[in-house]
A and B are shown apart, each in its own frame.
Chain A
């Protein structure tokens, strides 16, 4: 048995579709699932004679993302043509950025069970998407749909700083969280708004000697699960391959593999006889971009609080647990919702509990989500009213759960439900004294036990009183009266 250690090295290229109304170089709307070739114009069709004009918003969103990833925003940037022949790329070149990306040298801080870690970002650049090929089930042909052609993509390339599947997962999720916080992307995974291409190899130390396995790039993974499974599979496969062949990485080379979602395995993609030669050169139809420093500063100042910062603040300012703060900052909508409830109820911690527990439970069973605010019935204002009612003792926590459930199903506010159903707690001392007296009379056993020193008998008496009141008796007031009467 040899003495060996194996370390996985992963770098990620992530394509994020930007949230613009129109394509990168023309006024066609960005779309998903529409009739094929219904969002095309001479420009995105690559017809003879057309010219691209850069979408200002796409550039702005890209710079925002670059800033949030702590990148340096290039004071001088340009676009380049990357050449390859493919039927979904009408010009047979992609307008991308080669040697002067708009952002470079940043980092993204991820959090795993092992703690926090900074993953360095090599570069972020803006480029156009290709169209789609549909393969006919019958017949020896494919169809080209150019609706997606020219959709703006931000490509974010990390350094090979990721060492575990868990880190890869955390990186992908964190990136998604950031771009949605910024509003630069909808990051809808089902619509392919994020696509991942991990570069993976292993560093194996055997008997003091270091070896690197050949780098594999996994193409076009479009879910977190696929990335995790693909990377995990490659980790195993490369180790097995090493044991079998001892083949090593050759500098500057990598093989491309696909990932089969149904088998969970990766497979070699057909290698072309000619090597890639993209023949990059500066795009002569576009001019350079030289953002003013003041403009970059303004964007920087306007950046929203990012997920980790927000999480930290929730812990320190509201005294929430790390776990709750994490849940409440998972999405910007969730965080905004919680903060509004906290502010309106003036009770952040209970607000956090209501959001993470009662509310989450209720909406999960109904398949609702805070993110789709339009048809979400419990506004922050309404939940805050409920939190306040419980905190002020108008209703009990238990009644609160009932009210919440009714709020989700109906149209009424907490106050309306409480009033209509007479759910308000009874805090009227005279009425409660009567209830206590009745309970004491009806339960001589526990009374005797208590007076004999068995303090837990109080619980049984409280239970009896609450039951008799239909849960409406204010427990604090009841317990005061009860103790007073028992000591008489």
Chain B
């Protein structure tokens, strides 16, 4: 076999079942790829080599013994470093604040990956506490886009997206509060899904904005994302906001995908000023593929779309200011040296432990919740959130899904937006609505720009229609086969990990 890491997760599973390869080899290949390329990409903040190897070998032995194995048996998995793990790796959230923090418990999704016999190979880079759209806000240095190392991978789950794009791991988990899975998926040319709020337990996901956060999978193909979603979806008694509702068979939905009769809504507001022409062309071409395959296109309107980013930044920063209050240097995390008193200890620890964007958001959130401003900002935002949800509810009464761009542009150069927070916030213009309305949305590759940069098509659906979204995403994937295209940086590396 040529480069093992060119296989998708689904293909790896088939190869393992046919005994054409072993988990040991897959994990070794994954670790070798990380060793050779992550110096340039910086997708990972920490890796587990020895432990991962041992787990892989144990799974191989169990396979030889004919034991029944879980659906991720022997597959390397990368997880975003805002998911708690108790296995010796720190959970840093890419923050100085938690640089040395070791969680004494596993996140629900981590337990599920282990129970499914997945092998966690490392924890990926992110914008500090998942606050950002480019992964440049990491206290430990940015992640680079595997398609062009001078560009950002998108964020905040940039490390996970880049790890999958660079074939360091076939599967990864990220978290999405305003687009943090979909935006990097789009910019890195992989598939990324934000599930319905409540579909996946948030227990063990370090909170950024509790009413918006949701964990979701990355894969190179829709089938891989379906595989991972099947593992992590489900009710958890430790998360009051997880929903007790059986998950459908996502892989089956993907296999039986058909565009025939699919009613696709095209929000007028998604194709307006601010959208890069090349991105628009690729997205429209993709939509034409659906129409040709029998889908019906319906123009819809989301009248409050223009207020989504504003609403998002109020709700998200308010919740963030509260969720991040706990980092004060008392029970865990960074503590300043030789404080003169308690208040100074807390204030200096926080000033030193948090980066500039996190501090800005904490302060903005504190402001919008503070006495005298609550009604004007926070309460107002909750009301507009209701209007935005209403727009989407009305749209889904008419159509099966909405389609449009995931990001207004393809990947941009590192540093291009770091000095201008507002410009950075606008990268999320198409993604925040799904979080505000709690609905699922997927980003699937739909071609490349002339500069060879991937572009993503975003498909949004009503709550708990992940199966339909994935089925819809599979149609453009089948047509375009973008998942087979490799970032240029992999050209010379394949040989190094051939077996």
Q: How far is the CA of A91 from the CA of B98 in the complex (A)?
A: 15
- Is A92 a contact partner of B328 (Cβ separation < 8 A)? yes
B324-373 CB contacts (< 8 Å) to partner A: 325-326, 328, 330-332, 342-343, 346, 366, 369-371
Residue A445 at the chain B interface, CB threshold 8 Å? no
Please, how many angstroms separate the alpha-carbon atoms of A284 and B239 in the complex?
11
Partner of A49, one of B205, B241, B366, B371: B205
Cβ contact within 8 Å between B93 and A279: no
Given the interface pairs A48-B98, A49-B103, the reply to whether A91 lies near B325 with Cβ below 8 Å is: yes
Q: How far is the CA of A325 from the CA of B101 in the complex (A)?
A: 61
Please give the distance in Å from A32's CB to the nearest CB on chain B. 22
B326 and A287 contacting across the interface, CB-CB below 8 Å: no
State whether B371 touches A277 (Cβ < 8 A).
Answer: yes
Among A85, A144, A286, A287, max chain B CB count under 10 A is at: A85
Interface residue? B162 (CB, 8 A): no
Which residue of the partner chain A has the closest CB to B378?
A281
Number of CB contacts from chain A to chain B under 8 A: 99
**Do the beta carbons of A279 and B91 come within 8 Å of each other?**
no
Stretch at the interface among A50-58, A200-208, A368-376, A447-455: A50-58
Give the nearest-CB partner of B86 in chain A.
A42
Q: Residues of A contacting B371 with CB < 8 Å? A: 275, 277, 279
Q: Mark B299-320, 1 if CB is under 8 A from A, else 0.
A: 0000000000000000000110
Which residues of B are found within 8 Å of A52, using beta-carbon distances? 240
- Whether A284 lies near B211 (C-beta < 8 A) is yes
- Please, which residues of chain A bring their CB within 8 A of the CB of B204? 49-50
Q: What is the CB-to-nearest-CB distance from B490 to chain A, in angstroms, rounded to a whole number?
A: 34
Which of chain A's residues have a CB closer than 8 A to the CB of B107?
A: 49
Q: CA of A91 to CA of B333 in the docked complex: distance in angstroms?
A: 13
Contact A287 B240 (CB under 8 A): yes
- Chain A residues touching B, majority SS: loop
Given contacts A42-B104, A85-B346, contact A49 B325 (CB under 8 A): no
**Closest chain A residue to B239 by CB distance?**
A51
Given A49-B206, A51-B202, A284-B319, check contact A83 B325 (CB 8 Å).
Answer: yes
Q: Are B240 and A47 in contact (CB under 8 A)?
A: no
Query: Is A53 touching B84 in the complex (CB atoms < 8 A)?
Result: no
Question: B325 touches which one: A92, A284, A286, A287 (CB < 8 A)?
Answer: A92
**A87 interfacial by beta-carbon distance below 8 Å:** yes
**Of B98, B322, B331, B370, the contact of A144 (CB 8 Å cutoff):** B331
Is A87's CB under 8 angstroms from B342's CB?
yes
B 70-93 binary contact with A (CB < 8 Å = 1; else 0) = 000000000000111000000101
Interface presence of B394 (CB below 8 A): no
Question: Which residue on chain B has the smallest CB distance to residue A276?
Answer: B371
Q: Are A85 and B325 in contact (CB under 8 A)?
A: yes
Kindly state the separation between the CA atoms of A47 and B103 in the bound complex, as whole angstroms: 8
Residues B211 and A281 in contact, CB atoms below 8 Å apart: no
A45 close to chain B: CB less than 8 A: yes
| 1/0 contact string of B202-217 vs chain A (CB within 8 Å) | 1111110111000000
Q: Is A285 an interface residue (CB 8 A)?
A: yes
| Residues of chain B contacted by A91 (CB below 8 angstroms) | 325-326
| Nearest chain A CB to B105 CB, angstrom units | 5
Interface residue ranges of A457-485 to B (CB < 8 Å): none
Kindly provide the distance from the CB of A165 to the nearest chain B CB, expressed in whole angstroms. Answer: 35
Is B238 an interface position by the 8 A CB rule? yes
Is there an interface contact between A53 and B240, defined as CB atoms closer than 8 Å? Answer: yes
Determine the residue in chain A with the shortest Cβ distance to B209. A284
Cβ contacts under 8 Å, A50 to chain B: 203-204
Interface 0/1 of A20-60, CB less than 8 Å to B: 00000000000000000000001001111111111000000
Query: What residues of B have a CB within 8 angstroms of the CB of A275 in the complex?
Result: 371
Interface flag for A318 (CB, 8 Å):
no
Residue A233 is within 8 A (CB to CB) of chain B in the complex: no
Asked if A90 CB lies within 8 Å of chain B CBs, one says yes
Q: How far is the CA of A283 from the CA of B325 in the complex (A)?
A: 14
Closest CB-CB distance, A253 to chain B, in whole Å? 14
Question: Is the beta-carbon distance between B84 and A93 smaller than 8 angstroms?
Answer: no
Query: Do B346 and A287 touch (CB < 8 A)?
Result: no
Report yes or no: B240 in contact with A46, Cβ–Cβ below 8 A: no
User: In the complex, what's the smallest C-beta–C-beta distance from B300 to chain A, in angstroms?
Assistant: 29
CA of A91 to CA of B93 in the docked complex: distance in angstroms?
A: 17
- Interface assignment of A148: CB less than 8 Å from any CB of chain B: no
Give complex CA distance A91, B318 in Å: 15
| Residues of chain A with a CB closer than 8 A to B66's CB | none
Q: Does B492 contact A (CB under 8 A)?
A: no
Nearest neighbor of A279 in chain B, beta-carbon distance: B369
Q: Which residue of A lies closest to B105 (CB)?
A: A42
B241 and A81 within 8 A (CB):
no
User: Is B246 at the interface (CB under 8 A from chain A)?
Assistant: no
Within 8 A of B (CB), among A284-303: 284-287
Say yes or no: B369 contacts A46, CB within 8 Å.
no
12 A-B pairs within 8 Å (CB atoms) are namely A47-B103, A47-B105, A49-B107, A49-B202, A50-B204, A54-B240, A81-B322, A93-B325, A144-B330, A281-B322, A284-B209, A286-B240
The 5 closest A-B pairs by CB, nearest first: A92-B325, A284-B210, A284-B211, A279-B369, A48-B206
In addition to A51-B202, A281-B319, 15 A-B residue pairs with Cβ atoms within 8 Å of each other are A42-B104, A45-B331, A48-B98, A48-B207, A48-B326, A49-B91, A49-B202, A49-B203, A52-B240, A85-B346, A92-B326, A277-B370, A281-B378, A284-B241, A286-B240
